[in-house]
Structure 1
Amino acid sequence: MLLQDGCAAVVHLSSCHHLSEFGQAVCRCLQMRPAFSTVHHGYELRFLNTGMLCTVFLKLSCQVVSPQLDTMTQMDYKYSLLGPAIDDYRKRPLLLQVDNTPMNPFAVLEVKRDALKRSNNSGCFCKIRVYGVLFGLAVMFVIMASYVLNGDKKGLLLTPSPYHFTTLVNPGLFAFNLSSEKDYAHIKLVVKSIKSKVDFGSSRHIPELKALIKTDPHMFSVIPHKFLPGIKNPCWYEEYTGNRTSDPYRTNMYGRYSRRFRTVFQHLRSSFHKHLLYRKKKLYRMRCLPYFYIIGQPKCGTTDLYDRLRRHPDVKFTTFKEPHWWTRKRFGIIRLSEGVHDPYPVEDYLDLFDQAAYQIQGNLTANDRGYPSHPNIIIGEASASTMWDNNAWVYFYDNTSEGEPPFLIQDFIHAVQPDARFIVMLRDPVERLYSDYLYFGIANKSAEDFQEKVSESLQLFEGCLMEYTMRSCVYNTTVNNAMPVRLQVGLYIVYLMDWLKVFNRDQILLLRLEDHASNRKYTMHKVFDFLGLGPLTKEKESEITESPASNTRRPADKNLGPMLAITKEILRDFYTPFNAKLAKVLQNDSFLWENR
């Protein structure tokens, strides 16, 4: 394969020994070699292996000469670092084959011209300069827009490098108009293919405690094996090694990146030292973990549930609803658009619960016997990513099995807190996906655009299933980042079955948003009973159950109207086998969402 300046090509190779130097470089990457670079005929070839992809960022469009095809083909790489943010669907990348081997749509190679080499073709050089300028302007615009429009949301605008990997697929796949009978028939076949590969029979291997400790020894050294007796919430005393004038929150990463947390820490700082316990010439501070977690799912009513629960006098949350420590901050992911920073230590996470710990400690010290008069104060945490977001695993754990993560978030929570309780709020996954699109979408949202993104995502998911197991594709970071809508978040049963592998069924309360919306009093009573909370006065109960709903759809999004009927039909067909398994496991047919 011959490449001109700035080109990139996609290849799939089954063996290396008979290939040229160029082909061998590609093949080494595909055969699980770590990141490396080489120079071939003046081109700098840079590779990054992720276990599934060989990929790097592409700078601009180019011409590719294929000896097999004997043609020159203009290529435009929509699926690069800025893939999800670019809406120009008119140009599509071309899949090439080498040695007549079928194409792997999840392998990408960047070829960058050595700066010291110059092309003899002045026309090509001028074209490259023009493309380079235009590309630079486009990048600047998209990055600026991401900061202005995305804010603190974990949106879909940009995906961080190196956490987003280029995915190129056949140009004929994504230029779809479902109003066309031919295109509609093709997408139906895609869904049929996906459903034929749905398999709930495989079970994951539960890692041993020793293996978990090895991945994060510091966290396990901070959190004790046993908690204080006589109180409901998991708490303990930790020796404080600072002096009485030091700032305990000075290095907290949450405060560094969030103005809201800085304000909270300023308040906590003013009363921190008076809450220190002095025993045997040492200072101690109370530390607490949450008693319960609202773990999912996004756009299923978790914010409304959080707002109502925090009105209960015995329930305490952090000021910020979603710390995302277990899924993101622990790995150094602050915002999805900003790449990776230093990981947040567990102490920074525990700091978020200091205000609640003060109240629990106050109850302890107020009682002569050392037991609180109000033992039912509990702490909650409501990161809606906890149930499903394991996207960081591929970058930190290298011992994979069939492309599936060796460790999941629930493994670590169970290891330090086996008695924790979890609340899951679900809704019709078809409606969840559209709500997710409207909430996180930035510009040019429409039912037609949603339709196109659904088609694209379905085909990416099907492409993964051609080579990997269903669980592997659900947890596959590359596929998840490449899909313009988050289809995988609605595959509730896949995540639930993995949670039930480590926690008992009675530790997880599952609710439906549809039931909550129609009868909040009923669902809130279920939550109160599940958490073992005491009775409320009628006035307080009315305040909790009758307050307006939180985080509802914005007026501008309501004006877009519902999704297209044909899109709904396709999505309902896609989610049907997953809903059926969910209803069977829960022995509750309402989770089929058939009457909608």
Structure 2
Amino acid sequence: MDYRHGLQNAPFEKLDHCKNKAPSDRWMNASGVPESRRSQHLTSGPWSLTSVWKIKILSFFFALMVTVLIMASYILARDQKGLFLTPSPYHLSVTSHSASLPLNLSSMGDYSALRDLVRRIVAKVDFLGRRVPDLGEVREKEPSIFSAIPRKFLPYLKNPCWYERFFGNITANPYRKNLYTLYSKRFQAIYNHLHRAFPAHLHQRAGRQYRLRCLPFFYIIGQPKCGTTDLYDRLRLHPEVHFTTMKEPHWWTRKRFEVEPPFLVQDFIHALQPDAKIIVMLRDPVESRLYSDYLYFGMTNKTVEDFHERVSESLHIFDGCLAERSIRSCVYNTTLYNLMPVRLQVGLYVLYLCDWLSVFSRDQILILRLEDHAANRKITMRRVFEFLQLGPLTLQKEADITKSPASNTRRPANRNLGPMLPITREILQRFYKPFSQRLAQVLKDPNFLWM
């Protein structure tokens, strides 16, 4: 047999002959070719199918290994959470600007470049109002919400509540599909307790079982690191206030609906609860909120220089977005929100607040400053209790609420970092100034200038 021919060229009888022939003393490979002649077969004639498949398999694994290495190097080189292998729509503009930034933070060139960048951003800012969707559009957008919640509530309760007929098995766990049970052992224990107490809370009427369902009486909508956790912890000490199991259940959330308005969370809340009360807590966006946000969340190797670089990169990203989109589109854009090294847009309070004021009246929204709350908690909490029309407290109970230690404060290790660089502070003050000025005008209160 001429082993220089590949298997594809060999006659069938020769293939049968090779398969049926008794093997020699030397080991033979799967194709019936003696191993001693294998090198001759590979070099002097066409390759066999087995050899071709081996080459293909080796090539596949080599390509896979190269791809994995490229992905790993890309991921390690990036410092952006949640954006692996996802090109940013603003990447080109960010790269071109960042490459020109001097590394010397104290240089006048760095200050001048950032000042020009902020001037360019501020020139693009407008405070145009949005088109508020009518009730029919809101209902059509999320019909499942309005089919589950009635239009009329029980008249004798402060909260919007109603009875919902219960058709399930009374012994079954109604919370078995609640994903918060996977969050921690603490929540598992809470929902296990709710499960055990569930049958006792069912109401019997005419042989049927009903479950009491309620929406919140008020909402706390302050921004991150603005004191909302402390306000929450003090409010829950009032005997007339009962909170949900989760501090932030995220049932109403901007991620539930459009990234770009026309539909916002407040449109749906107002459609269901036109008389709802809203509490807002704000703080200085420069000195307190943004820097505290940077120090609080889990980043390693925090330095004032690193904070400056993150602010600089975020400004370039925001400028790149404004080159293509409106200010409100950039503020509500989830991709941009995840891309920012520091969350500059969270401190643009007036944009969010005006959207809430587009559907709720001013007397339905209580707006507080964290600086005032920290200076005199008793006055702040009395304003909150009066706004919510809560009953009077004993002096001892009021002392328990107002004198307890502040919640969610800065960690000792982060306090040692010291203040931000002067150049960073000045750039941020220039960036936030027009937004704070507009906020003070809307609220008719110069204290929101934070000067």
Q: TM-score, normalised by structure 1?
A: 0.61
- Cα 1:161/1:452, change in 2 over 3 Å: closer
Task: Report how far residue 260 of structure 1 moved.
Answer: 3.0
**Aligned counterpart for 1:532 among listed residues 389, 392, 396:** 389
Q: In the alignment, residue 593 of structure 1 is paired with which amino acid?
A: W
The alpha-carbon distance between structure 1 residues 557 and 134, as it changes in their structure 2 partners (threshold 3 A), is: farther
2:220 counterpart SS class: strand
CA distance in 2, matches of 1:314, 1:416: 23
**Cα displacement string for residues 508-540 of structure 1 (whole angstroms, at most 9, x for unaligned residues):** 100000000001011001001000011100000
Task: Report if the CA contact (8 A) 2:126-2:327 is conserved.
Answer: yes
Q: How does 1:26-105 map to 2 (within 5 A)?
A: none
* 1:551 partner SS: coil
Aligned to 1:308, which of 214, 234, 239? 234
Q: Is the 8 A contact 2:81 2:339 kept in 1?
A: no
CA contact (8 A) 1:391 1:475 kept: no
Correspondence for 2:273 = 417
- Decide which moves more: 167-176 or 410-419: 167-176
**Deviation of 1:548 (Å):** 0.7
Structure 1 residues 565 and 501 mapped into 2: Cα distance closer, same or farther (>3 Å)? same
Equivalent of residue 187 in structure 1, options 114, 121, 139: 114
Which one has a larger percent strand, Structure 1 or Structure 2? Answer: 1
Asked if structure 2 preserves the Cα contact closer than 8 Å seen for 1:157 and 1:441, the reply is: no
Cα offset, 1:553, TM superposition: 0.2
CA shift at 1:583, angstroms?
Answer: 0.5
CA apart distance, 1:159: 2.1
Correspondence for 2:91 among 168, 178, 192: 168
**Residues 148-184 of structure 1: CA distance to partner in whole angstroms, max 9, x if unpaired?**
xxxxxxxx96227899846423534225333221121
1:256 and 1:198 map into 2 onto residues whose CA distance is 43
Q: 1:158 corresponds to which residue?
A: 81
Unmatched 5+ stretches in structure 2: 1-54
DSSP 3-state at the match of 1:444: coil
How much does 1:471 deviate?
1.4
Partner of 1:405: 261
Kindly indicate whether residue 124 of structure 2 is the aligned counterpart of residue 197 of structure 1.
Answer: yes
Aligned letter for 2:411? R
When Rg is computed on C-alpha atoms for both structures, the one with the higher figure is 2
CA contact (8 A) 1:165 1:481 kept: no
User: 8 Å contact 2:221–2:278 — kept in the other structure?
Assistant: yes
In the alignment, which of 72, 84, 90 is matched to residue 136 of structure 1?
72
- Partners of 1:557 and 1:424 in 2: CA distance: 26
| Aligned 8 A contact 1:191 1:570 in 2 | yes
- Residue range with higher mean Cα deviation, 409-418 or 463-472: 463-472
SS in 2 for 1:238: strand
Equivalent in the alignment of 1:321: 247
Q: d(CA) in 1 for partners of 2:84 and 2:71?
A: 17
For 1:282, the equivalent position in structure 2 comes to 208
1:209-240 per-residue CA deviation (whole Å, 9 max, x = no partner) reads 22222332222111111111112111111000
SS of 1:188's partner is helix
User: CA–CA distance in 2 between the matches of 1:572 and 1:159?
Assistant: 29
CA distance in 1, matches of 2:373, 2:271: 32
Which of the numbers 341, 353, 359 marks the counterpart of 1:496? 353
The residue that corresponds to 2:38 in the other structure is none
Q: How has the CA–CA distance of structure 1 residues 142 and 465 changed in structure 2, closer, same or farther, with 3 Å as cutoff? A: closer
CA contact (8 A) 1:157 1:442 kept: no
Q: Alpha carbons of 1:234 and 1:475: their partners in 2 closer, same or farther (altered >3 Å)?
A: same
User: Helix, strand or coil: the match of 1:517?
Assistant: helix
Aligned-residue offset at 1:293: 0.9
- Count of residues in correspondence between the two structures: 389
Match of 2:336 among 473, 479, 503: 479
Q: Percent identity?
A: 58
Alignment partners' CA distance in 1, 2:151 and 2:84: 37
Gap runs ≥5 in structure 1: 1-116, 144-155, 328-389, 396-403
Partner residue, 1:30 = none
Which structure has more relative contact order (CA 8 Å, sep 6+)? It is 2
Aligned residues of 2:83 and 2:339 also touching (Cα < 8 A): no
| Structure 2 match to 1:568 | 425
Q: Deviations over 1:363-416 (max 9, x none)?
A: xxxxxxxxxxxxxxxxxxxxxxxxxxx355446xxxxxxxx4120010111111
